[in-house]
Amino acid sequence: MLGGLAVAVFTSSGWPEVKSQFFSVKAFTDSFPGILSAFWIDVKVFLIVEVVVLILGLFVAVVRTSTNPALFPFRVLGAVYCDVFRGIPVVLLIYLFGFGIPALALQGVPTDPLILGSIALALAYGSYVAEVFRAGILSIHRTQVESGLAIGLNRLQTLRHVVLPQAVRRVRPPLLNDFIALQKDVALLAVVGVIEAYRQAQIDAAATFNYTPLVAAALLYLAVTIPMARLLDYISRPDDPSRGMAK
Amino acid sequence: MTEGGPGTADGAGVIDVLSVTKAFGELEVLKGIDLTVGEHEAVALIGASGSGKSTLLRCVDLLEEVDGGDILLDGEVITDPSVDPVAVRKKLGFVFQAFNLFPHLDVLENITLGAVQSGQMKRKEAEERGRELLARFGLGDREREKPDRLSGGQQQRVALIRAFAPNPRALLLDEVTSALDPELVGEVLELVRELKAEGMTMLIATHEMGFAREVADRVAFLEGGRLLEVGPAATVIDSPSEPETRRFLGRLHQGGLA
């Protein structure tokens, strides 16, 4: 079937045109170094934002699953945060942060669109990841908590040593899934003027009337998302093949 | 039997339960329980499912809050809101019907986690004690296994070791053999027997009448949230004085359980 598709594409009347517009070797070699160096911005942003998202998401999830009556206001705050930041398109958040915050002209607040856009990304993905962690925490049976308390741990120690290790293990696949999405969404920072790989490719394409730089950028994204997807498959495998799904 | 009902509690035991009541919503599960477990004594709680055995044990370990009455540990009230429940639970060992081992930790880690994290033992000391107990109870070669690689009987033995490794003042056993296949019950009861021989103070909820008669010094019969009869194991089980106890034991005999 793949072969059939290839034949259909390569024999189509438009293929020579597409080939020169999207797959030009010259345009590729000309633009690639510039796009690659712009791609380092993507790499840096997602490495930093991923760490922030992990910490923020875990913190919000722990607060939202707490049972202490004194923490009720924080549970409400956590719920409002998740609702708001999951409910607004990420691209819009980046616009609002990147252009809105500098317009306030507040002292001591960063105005660099790269930083503000990254904060918007972290807040948006933090809300998704908080829900992933929360689902993981809620999936751990109450008896595990009781067992932790019964051996003399306090609530925090029970969370740390009994609940979270099991919860995090359980949600690793959806967590990595969100990270793959985040790695691609770094390209959205282009809307506030950050020249990362996608934006650089767009600039090159506009300058040369050739779309090959966009293909080069796509390949770079794949170079980081595919290993992540393989990792996801690897950690999602059953511990023991004999305990996998019945055939 | 002293006057004032079948249960006795005078504040002189390791565990004293005084007029304890507990309800879940409309459902009154404990309707005024008095019971003492003395030093080195094993008391078996018997009674039908839903009679309040588990709830009573859970109240003693502060996993449930009592509504009324008090529970004392070594003469100190532990059911007061000002008491730190963590400090109380460090002095007690609790074993659950469904083992409740930590699936992400291996056998030895399961045993040492509580003692180490709650500051009762240094890691090295806790590991030595854990290894020694595992070896003694025939699990010496399983210390690095995860719980799901063990049989139910082995898991429950690990749970028992986890509960008594830090040398608690008393053990609370909540139907520790009820989730086991019949052929695995023996190995768990054997361990409890050894603990009894060592003088461990125990409060044991159980359906195993033969075991209760053999290991328990006294048996307490619970029905509908009340203690109807407390006395020496052989007396309560072989010649109960209360008609309800006779009926309960009769039903067990018919079912071939006693």
pLDDT tens digit sequence for B120-148: 899 999 999 999 999 999 999 999 999 99
> CA of B160: how far to CAs of B102, B117, B124, B164, B241, in Å?
13, 18, 20, 6, 33
State the 10-residue block means of pLDDT for chain A, 247 residues long.
Answer: 85 86 87 91 94 97 92 96 95 93 84 92 97 96 96 95 94 91 93 90 90 92 90 75 49
Side-by-side strand order, sheet with B42-46? B92-95, B170-174, B202-205, B42-46, B218-223, B226-232
Q: What is the pLDDT of residue A110?
A: 85
Burial readout B118-151 (b: 16 or more C-beta within 10 A, e: otherwise):
bebbeeeebbebbbebbeebebeebbeebbeebe
CB contacts of A69 in chain B (<8 Å) are none
User: Has residue B72 got a pLDDT over 90?
Assistant: yes
Distance (Å, whole) CA B127 – CA B130: 5
Give the nearest partner residue to B117 out of A150, A157, A166, using CB atoms. A157
Determine, for residues B104 and A157 on separate chains, whether the beta-carbon distance falls below 8 Å. no
| A182 min Cα distance to partner chain B (Å) | 29
Please report how the helices A15-22 and A212-236 are oriented relative to each other, as an axis angle in degrees rounded to 10.
80
Q: What is the DSSP letter of B91?
A: T
- The b-or-e profile of A7-37 (16+ CB within 10 A means b, else e) is eeeeeeeeeeeeeebbebeebbebbbebbee
Token pair 């998704």 in the structure block, residue: A128
CATH for A44-196 is 1.10.3720.10
Point out the residue among A143, A152, A161 whose CB comes nearest to the CB of B98. A143
| B104/A150 Cβ within 8 A | no
Interface residues on A facing B, Cβ-Cβ cutoff 8 A: 143-144, 146-154, 157, 161-162, 165-166, 169
Chain B neighbors of A144, CB-CB under 8 A:
100, 102
- What's the whole-number mean pLDDT along residues B56-74? 95
Mean pLDDT of B80-85: 93
- Which residue in the set A147, A150, A152 is minimally distant from B120, CB to CB? A152
CB contact under 8 A, B96 and A147: yes
How close B49 gets to chain A, by Cα (Å)? 19
| DSSP 8-state code for residue A189 | G
Can you tell me which residue has the tokens 């048996």? B219
> Quick one: what percent of chain B has pLDDT higher than 90?
74
Task: Identify the closest residue of chain A to B165 by CA–CA distance.
Answer: A151
Evaluate if residue B257 carries a pLDDT over 60. no
**B118 → closest Cβ in A147, A152, A165:** A152
Distance from CA of B147 to the nearest CA of A (A): 13
pLDDT at site B77: 95
Distance from CA of B117 to the nearest CA of A (A): 7
Q: Work out the pLDDT band at B2, boundaries 50, 70, 90.
A: very low
Contact indicator for B9, B34 with CB cutoff of 8 Å: yes
Handedness of CA B242, B244, B248, B254 (dihedral sign): positive
CA angle A204, A210, A216 (to 5 degrees): 65
Secondary structure (3-state) at A118: helix
Residues in chain A, overall count: 247
Q: How close, in Å, is residue B130 to chain A by CA atoms?
A: 14
Concatenated DSSP letters of B140-160:
GGGTTS-GGGS-HHHHHHHHH
- Contact across the interface for B114 and A146, Cβ inside 8 Å: no
Would you say A212 and A31 are in contact if contact means Cβ atoms under 8 Å apart? yes
pLDDT of residue B208: 87
Q: Which pLDDT belongs to residue B256?
A: 58
- pLDDT at residue B4 is higher than 80: no
- At B14 the pLDDT is 95
CB contact under 8 A, A143 and B114: no
* CA atoms in the 13 A half-sphere facing the CB of A174: 14
Q: Cα–Cα distance between B67 and A3 in angstroms, integer?
A: 74
**Going by DSSP bridges, is the β-strand pair B226-232/B76-77 parallel, antiparallel, or unpaired?**
unpaired
Nearest CA in chain B to A170: B104
As a whole-number percent, the residues of chain B with pLDDT over 70 amount to: 94
| Mean pLDDT for chain B overall | 90
| CA A92 to chain CA mean position, Å | 16
With CB atoms and an 8 Å threshold, state whether B113 touches A169: no
Where exactly are the structural domains of chain A?
A: 44-196
Nearest-by-CA chain B residue for A168: B104
What residue spans of chain A are helical by DSSP H?
2-10, 15-22, 25-64, 72-87, 90-95, 101-104, 113-138, 142-150, 155-158, 164-185, 197-208, 212-236
pLDDT of residue A228: 86
Q: Report the b/e string of A166-205 with b at 16+ CB within 10 A.
A: bbbebbeebbbbbbbebbebbbbbbbbebbbbbbbbbbbb
What is the per-residue pLDDT for B46?
94
Contact A153 B118 (CB under 8 A): yes
Which two tokens mark B106? Answer: 């291996």
Q: Residue B102 contacts by C-beta under 8 Å, 6 or more apart in sequence?
A: A144, A147, A148, A162, A166, B109, B110, B113, B147
- Output the pLDDT for position A245: 52
Say whether A150 and B113 touch across the interface (CB within 8 A). Answer: no
Q: Using alpha carbons, select from B187, B174, B237 the residue that is nearest to residue B209.
A: B237
d(CA B166, CA B119) in angstroms, rounded, equals 11
- Name the residue with higher pLDDT: B158 or A4: B158
Residues in chain B within 8 Å Cβ distance of A147: 96, 100-102
Q: pLDDT value at position A233?
A: 83
CA B125, CA B121: separation in Å to the nearest integer? 6
B86 contacts A154? CB cut-off 8 A: yes
Q: Which amino acid is at B87?
A: A
- Return the pLDDT at A179: 93
pLDDT at A159: 95
A153 and B114 within 8 Å at the Cβ level: the answer is: yes
- Compute how many other C-beta atoms are within 10 angstroms of the C-beta atom of residue A165: 16
Rounded to whole angstroms, the Cα distance separating A202 from A217 reads: 9
Q: What are the structural domain ranges in chain B?
A: 102-167
* Distance (Å) from the alpha carbon of A140 to chain B's nearest alpha carbon: 11
Least confident of A112-121, A204-213, B154-163, B247-256: B247-256
How large is the ipTM?
0.91
Strands, DSSP E only, in B74-175?
76-77, 92-95, 170-174
Residues of A in contact with B115 (CB under 8 A): 151-152
CA B125, distance to chain mean position in Å, is 26
| C-beta atoms of A150 and B163 within 8 A | yes
Determine the average pLDDT of the residues in B201-214. Answer: 91
- Calculate how close chain A gets to B21, using CA atoms only, in Å: 21
Q: Please tell me whether residue B232 adopts helix, strand or coil conformation.
A: strand
